[in-house]
Structures are given as C-alpha cells and as structure tokens.
Structure 1
C-alpha cells in the first residue's frame, strides 16, 4: 500500500506511547516526527509543514488535569492555524474533551487506542489540514488580488455626452444590489465597468470574482462555479469551493453569458433565483450572498426570440441593463483614451513620449475601430515601442488593413470557399457568432465547429 504524503508530529513524554503510535502510523504516512518534550514543538513547526499533531495532555508527574495539553494546543493553533491537533490522554474526561474542542482541538483520543481508530482519526485530521491550508492560500491570493485590484483600477474614461450619461447610470445603480447586464461589442470595456460598479458598491471590501463563461468547458461548469466534494468525480481528491462561494459577500462577474448553452442556463437560473448552490457530489444546499453582474457581446434579446437564450434567465440578470457604446460612436473620447494609454505605456516601457502629432490624432479619429478600446490600446502600445520620436507620428500607427473581398472568389475549391465565406461573415459582423451564423444559414454550434475546423 502506498503511503500518504503527510507529516505527523507525536508529542508524548511516554516513550512506549511514542513508539507505539509511530509504528502504527508509519504504515500509512510517509513522515512521522516524534518528541518527548513539548518545548520542541516550536522548532518542529518552524522546520516542517505539520499536518497533524498528536499531543499528550499531561507532562508533569502527579498532574493529570490536562492544563499543559491545553496550553500547547493554544500555542500550536496560534502559530500554525491550519495544523490539526488531536489530544491524547489516559484519563478521559468529558469536560476536558469539551474544553479541548472549544479551544481548537479536532478530536480527543483515549489511551490505549485501537490502531484502526487511531489511523481513522489521524487520516481525517490530515484531510482537514489540507483543506484549511488550501482555503488559507485562496484567501491569501484573493486578498492580494483585491489589493492589486483597488490599486490598479482604471476609472472610466470619457467626456463625450454618451459616456457622461453612461457614467451617471453607473453611479445610480452601483450602490444597490440590483443584478446588472452589460451589453457591448468586444473591447468596449465591459470588464472595466463591472469592476467600477463593484468599487462603487457597498461590497467593495469583499471579493470581485471574474468568470469567463465563454472559455469555461461545459463539463467543468458546475465544479468551477459551485465547487465539489471529495469523490464527486475521478480527480476530486479533496473538497473544493466554487467561484460563487469565493465571491461570498462580494460580486461575481459572469462574462460572455451569451455563450452559455441552454442546459446550463437552467442551472444558473436556479442559483440566481434561490441564492443557494450545491457542491457537486453533495446533498446539502449552501446559501450565497453575492451581487451578480453579467456581460455579453451577443444580441441577447434576439437570442431570446430565437429560443437560444432563456427569457426567464434574461429577466433575472437584467434588472438594470447597461449598453456600452462602440468607440466609433464616441470619437470625442479617442484623444483622451489615447493619451491615457500613452502615459501608462510610457511607464511600462520607460519612454518619455509627450503626445501625438496633429496628423496622428486625425488618423486615430478617422479610423472605424472594429476592435474598440482594446484595439486602440494595442495600436498605441505598438507605436510607443517602435517610435524614435518624442511624439507619436502617423507612420507609427498601424491600423488593420483587412478589406472585405466581396463576392470575388477565384478559387473554387469547396473547402477554401467555405473558409472565405465564414471569414467574410465574421468580419462583417465583427466576430458576433449569432449574426454571422444567421447570415450563413447555420446554427451557432455548426459555425463553432467550422471555425475550429478552419482554425479561424
């Protein structure tokens, strides 16, 4: 039998007890540490990641009240909160056991013990320690992300009339807990708006969890969003919390919700309606307290008419609907945005470019921006990298030169014709799957298959 990778520390002044526990446990775990002196606990915790401490309750001859055990229990929990502590004593006392549990012990075992029971208790302690360690790591990562998130937030940029109206609506709805649906083409800033709404809300000190539903494998939908318990599927070796639980108290941003298949839409609808999730493989429901913001570039109202998106789910997610304008409809903001990106990229690339020439600004405003703000940032970044001047010149700007080839088809190879028609439809509708598939007379699923087939 393969031993489990785990570190167990046995602390007891009775050498026979230490020997017996070590022999019993080393059959199952790869690292068994022992000491007869509890004062060695500090060095053991400093030098090892201890999963479980088996701790004797009494060390002084004639004293059997368990006070020393409780003292070292507190010490361990203070310095290594993820470590599981199991107390041992030959003098069982219900009151002492209750006090030990209150102060952080996981279990209480009487000497002499049954070897199978000892293994069962210690093994459960190992799993608990690992679960706590993972939770602490997740919380640590989330805390760091939240700090970075607050420090790096880019406030919404734009002085055009359409953007002023949009910002006013954000300021009105952000302090509420209303579900918000953000609509807009790719690159219009849906993530930035969702982040800004969170930061202006009463939930700003709690997590902001971003989930890209478009990139999420259907088979992982439930386990990623709702979590799972050990044994729920082949690789589920331990319990894991999902994104909804990670967002507890804060905001969950479900991006590209228009890509969610119908059979998964019903599962999401149930969670939004009941504010409860059930981990995969578990029977009990867990309440969630999260604000839900969704976003999509898909024509979601048309999808409801086509019955590819549930109307009842749309009603749930769009208490407030925020429509973000494409960059071509807010040309007055282009110079402001370009200057913002220039300042940021100057720092990144250690440049001192002071601005844009008049000709380059006119070129920026004259372009159609199919990729919106994301494309603008990309073009400014490229210009910052390649220019040798203290101002961005028109020749530093590299706009997309793709042109619609119309109906001219020189190659009559069926595969090539199909690929060309799909390319034309995707360019015409700026990557919108629903519109492109409708024009081509295909279902969304069929178009996805052909995009994959032609590596588009």
Structure 2
C-alpha cells in the first residue's frame, strides 16, 4: 500500500503520544498502529538499535549461498545504478521472507553500513519498519520516518516491496531514503517497483531453467544443443557423461568440435541437420576413437525465423539402443515379482538354501538351480535377481519346453525380418539384467552352443544378421534333471554347462522339508486372499496335518493348486480336512474310468502310489491295476 506525503510534524506528535501515553491517534494508519502495539508488547527499545538477533558470519555465508541466484542478479542490477544510490544517499537491502537481511547496498559513509547484514528486522527485534509490515501483509508499503519505531531513524523514509513467486513471499526489498528532501518519493517508488518486477521475473525464469535442467538431467537420453561451427554449447547429464567417456569435454565443460571426435560425422543426422534436414527416431551409429555408440536419434534444425534459410544450430536427442531395450523390457512387465524374503520356511535344508541364494546373488557368476519340478525355482530366480546388483535391470524369462527349436532360437537371439527391420531377442532385452532360462535341459544342442559362444564373448547377433551387439547379462538357469549327468552322457553342451554351473543351488523337495508345509500353506492362503481381494480363510490344525503328511510329488506347485481349489470351493471361512482334495481339480466322480488324461492326473496327485490312489478314488487296488494295464501304463 503506497501512501501519499504526510505532515511530518503531525506524525512525530502521533508517535510521541503513543510512546508516552499509549494512545493511538485516529489518523495513524491501522497497520502502523498494529505494528506499534506489537513493538510495545515486545518491549523493543525505541531509543537504540539492539541488533541482538544477528547471524554469525558462517550462518550468513550459508544463507547467502542458499539465495545466491537472487543476490547475484541484484548485484548486476545495482552495478548500473550504484552512482545513483550514492548520489541520493539511498540504502537498498534484500531480505529473505523472514526479514533477515541477506545483503545491503549503500553509500560507504552511511552509518547503517555495518549494522544490517545478517540482522533480523522483524517487529519483535527492531519494532516498526516497512519490511516487517510487508512481511505481515505481503503488499508494497511506505513508512515515513516518524512512524518508524526507532527514533534515530525518524529523519529517514522507507519503502518495501514483496517479491512474490508462485503466490509465495520469497524476498523483501527495501529502499531507505537517508535524506528525503533530496529525492521525490515517486522516483524511489518507481525504482522499487522496477526492482520488484525484474527480480520476480528473474526468479521465475531461474526456477523454470532449474526445473528444465533437472528434467533433462533425469531423462534417459542425451540432449545436445550444437552451434553451426559444430560446437556443443549445452549437454544434459547423460550427454556430458558420454562426452567425458570419449575425452571430448574438459574440466570447464568446454567441448571439442564434433567433426574432430566423431569419425563418421558427415554421415550422421547432425551433419544433415545443418543442411536443414530433420530426422526423428533414426537408428544411428557414432564412431569415435574410444567407443562406437548405437543410438536412436532425433535432430531438429533451428533457424532465426521461418523465412531464414540458414540453420543457426541444431538440437539433438539421442538414446542408446541398449537403454531403450531396458525401458521396453520394464514397460513389458519384465520385472521381478518376488523377493527372497517372500520365500517361506524354517527347515534346516531350506534355510541353508536361502542363505546360499543370498550369497550367490551378490557375486557375478551365472547360476544353475537344480531340483524337482514344482519346487519354486522360478520364484527363487526372482528373489536372486532382486537381491543382486542387477535388480534395477530387467528380469526376462524363457522356457525351453514351450516352443519349437526354430522359434526358441529366434526368441533367445532375435531375428531379422528383412534387410531393414530386425527384432532383438531376450538375450539382448535382458542386458544389464537377468535372463531366467527354465528347463534348460531341453535346450537343443545347436542353440546351446550358440548361447555358450555369446556368453563367453559377451556379444550376440540376431538370426539373419552379421552385426554383433554387446550384451551384459546374467543367466539363471533351472533344470529339473541332473544337468551334470546329462552333460557327462553327452546329452547337454559341456561348454554351456561349465558357464552356467559356476554357482549351483540345489533346491530341496517339499517332502524333504515336511515341517515347512503348514507355514507354506498358510502363506499361500494369505496370498490368494490379497491377490483376489477376498476375505481370508483359516486352515484348521487337522487340515494342516493332512497337508503335512502328504508326499507332494508335484511339490509347491501341486500344493498351490490344491489350496487354490480349497480356497475357491469352500463356502465358509474355515477350511476343514474334507475341503481338501489332494487331487486338485480332479474329483472322484470324474470319468477317470474312460478318460486316460483324468486317470493320469489322479495318479500324479497320488504320487504314483497305488494305495493312496485307491483311497482317493474309493476303489480297490485290484481295480486300479486293471486300469493301469488298460491304459498301457507301468507303475
């Protein structure tokens, strides 16, 4: 609030009456009145400045560093008007939002020169000033000398403006007029409002630039601004890292000319960009003395105007193809779902296996998981990936029993569909992460040899291409069979076995850790409840005992299937032994007498035990032997 000139004698009289009698004249501005009353309440001495609330030199330096952008801008601004400030004996101060003086600009002969920086000019500390009224009301305000609480400042006038950024009070700028007769109030106000506008605009621009820089530095691609003489004038964080890797940037962040560091410069999109040719998402190879990069590159030429034919500079956005594949892998859901801590069990065999998994996860070896089908090797692979230094990378899975050799080869190594288009395989997509190969014993010999070569050389090429690409991948292989024995018999590639078996983890069967079954069962029921957002169900002690005494030939996978059936087919909240069907989805009333597949499912659920199967199907052993013979099976 800017106020017109007031009669100083009247103002002095209003001040004296308040100081001596505590009475406020009706002509006193309400904000001045409010501030005077607070000053009196805080018992601020009106006779002398007591700058007790002053920062130490170290604290002031820290605060100035925090607000260095605003101070630096004001320093440059003041340079152009310093003579004006000295001529009219003006003191300019910039304060933070709490009225602590960050810096002052005044005539060196001013008696305030040694008193201000680091001092808190709140009402509680110094009484009424224009700055603490602005702090309270967040609008420009002018205070005439006799309204200032400290009597030694009554021969001055003071105006302050709030510096508002995004609706928040950020700084306060004050101009104190030491000799008010020398300069009109309007001139001082004009200077204050000019400072306010300029400083607010600069801070907003500075914040925008910092935000843009933070965004660009966080982006997973390199960004460059390149001038017409092939000089890079800006690079984001990734851009600087890549330039440093090829020794193209010095300590002062000055870069060499591109044509001196990129050997194939005239064949790149940047060279085309300076000819006025834009390109978007083009696959580009950058050849330097230190390294060759393969990127997806976009180049946009910049001109002064649409009519200008000359390209002044180009903006280049370039993403390493390797990083792009990782992003695609994550977007496709190639991430670990389970941690090692999610694997439940307290038996000695299980605890030892889990401890070994933690140790092995931290080294760099490829890993072989050995054990029966259904024991949770895939979940263990997820946990190892999560516990490894590759946890930020993708986890990609492939099952060697799921497709034909031709499709499996393309799935692993990728393939070229024509001369211009090719697709990466899972070996490439898993780069910087983990490739889980399940049932690796079923991997065809020819593919096994290719995989061993790729892992040894850390390079691969897509089917139908000769271009080699670097890979950085860890293999976690799983085998239901004894892979060493298969290798010794010549049924598995020896070189690949030696590569993946540097760290072997043997996963115990469920029947060998029978005491873990109740804990596992409860955990599975809890997971089903959370996954399907259903009310939790309770396995009764006698139901847990039924589960514990069963042999589980299908291991955890079979236990999961049986419990899923019980969970979804039990109407109440408690699961009784009668609710547990060890045959899973195979019911006793199924047509097993005429359907071989149903009979096989039931026999598998019984673990190949004829006595157990006879109990499950409620038939005699003699009857079962007849059907075993009928279906051409052997016990």
Indicate how the Cα distance of structure 1 residues 263 and 321 shifts in structure 2: closer, same or farther if over 3 A, else same: same
Q: Tell me which moved more, 198-207 or 134-143.
A: 134-143
Equivalent residue, structure 2, for 1:249:
432
Equivalent residue, structure 2, for 1:386:
569
Answer yes or no: is the 8 Å Cα contact 2:553–2:604 preserved in 1. no
CA distance in 1 between counterparts of 2:535 and 2:492 reads 49
Equivalent residue, structure 2, for 1:206:
393
Say which of 386, 396, 403 aligns to 1:216: 403
CA distance in 2 between counterparts of 1:220 and 1:209 reads 17
Say whether residues 1:395 and 2:578 are aligned partners.
yes
Indicate how the Cα distance of structure 1 residues 171 and 142 shifts in structure 2: closer, same or farther if over 3 A, else same: same
CA distance in 2 between counterparts of 1:274 and 1:105 reads 33
Structure 2 unmatched ranges of 5 or more: 1-226, 236-257, 285-295, 299-317, 587-592, 609-632
Equivalent residue, structure 2, for 1:439:
none
Equivalent residue, structure 1, for 2:353:
166
Indicate how the Cα distance of structure 1 residues 300 and 369 shifts in structure 2: closer, same or farther if over 3 A, else same: same
CA distance in 1 between counterparts of 2:370 and 2:606 reads 16
Q: Tell me which moved more, 340-349 or 251-260.
A: 340-349
1:331-366 Cα offsets, whole Å, 9 max, x none, are 111111111111111223443334211221111011
CA distance in 2 between counterparts of 1:371 and 1:106 reads 63
Q: TM-score, structure 1 length as denominator?
A: 0.59
Indicate how the Cα distance of structure 1 residues 141 and 152 shifts in structure 2: closer, same or farther if over 3 A, else same: farther
- Corresponding residue SS for 1:268: helix
CA distance in 2 between counterparts of 1:274 and 1:317 reads 14
Equivalent residue, structure 2, for 1:437:
none
CA distance in 2 between counterparts of 1:252 and 1:269 reads 14
- Corresponding residue SS for 2:369: strand
What is the Cα-based RMSD across aligned positions, in Å? 4.7
Give how far 1:313 is off: 2.2
CA distance in 2 between counterparts of 1:429 and 1:378 reads 14
CA distance in 1 between counterparts of 2:394 and 2:574 reads 40
- Corresponding residue SS for 1:178: coil
Give how far 1:165 is off: 0.8
CA distance in 1 between counterparts of 2:607 and 2:497 reads 23
Give how far 1:385 is off: 1.0
Say which of 441, 445, 455 aligns to 1:258: 441
Say whether residues 1:272 and 2:455 are aligned partners.
yes
Give how far 1:158 is off: 0.9
| Structure that is richer in helix per residue | 1
Greater relative CO, 1 or 2 (CA 8 Å, sep 6+): 1
Say whether residues 1:107 and 2:294 are aligned partners.
no
Computing the radius of gyration over CA atoms, which structure comes out larger, 1 or 2? 2
Give how far 1:197 is off: 1.1
Say which of 356, 363, 375 aligns to 1:176: 363
1:45-444 to structure 2, matched below 5 A, reads 105=270, 107-108=272-273, 139-144=326-331, 149=336, 155-231=342-418, 238-400=421-583
Give how far 1:259 is off: 0.3
CA distance in 2 between counterparts of 1:206 and 1:248 reads 8
Answer yes or no: is the 8 Å Cα contact 2:551–2:607 preserved in 1. no
Give how far 1:129 is off: 8.3
CA distance in 2 between counterparts of 1:135 and 1:357 reads 52
- Corresponding residue SS for 2:415: coil
CA distance in 1 between counterparts of 2:492 and 2:334 reads 36
- Give the count of matched residue pairs: 328
1:221-245 Cα offsets, whole Å, 9 max, x none, are 332222233526xxxx622112111
Answer yes or no: is the 8 Å Cα contact 2:439–2:479 preserved in 1. yes
Q: Tell me which moved more, 123-132 or 183-192.
A: 123-132
Indicate how the Cα distance of structure 1 residues 263 and 148 shifts in structure 2: closer, same or farther if over 3 A, else same: closer
Answer yes or no: is the 8 Å Cα contact 2:582–2:605 preserved in 1. no
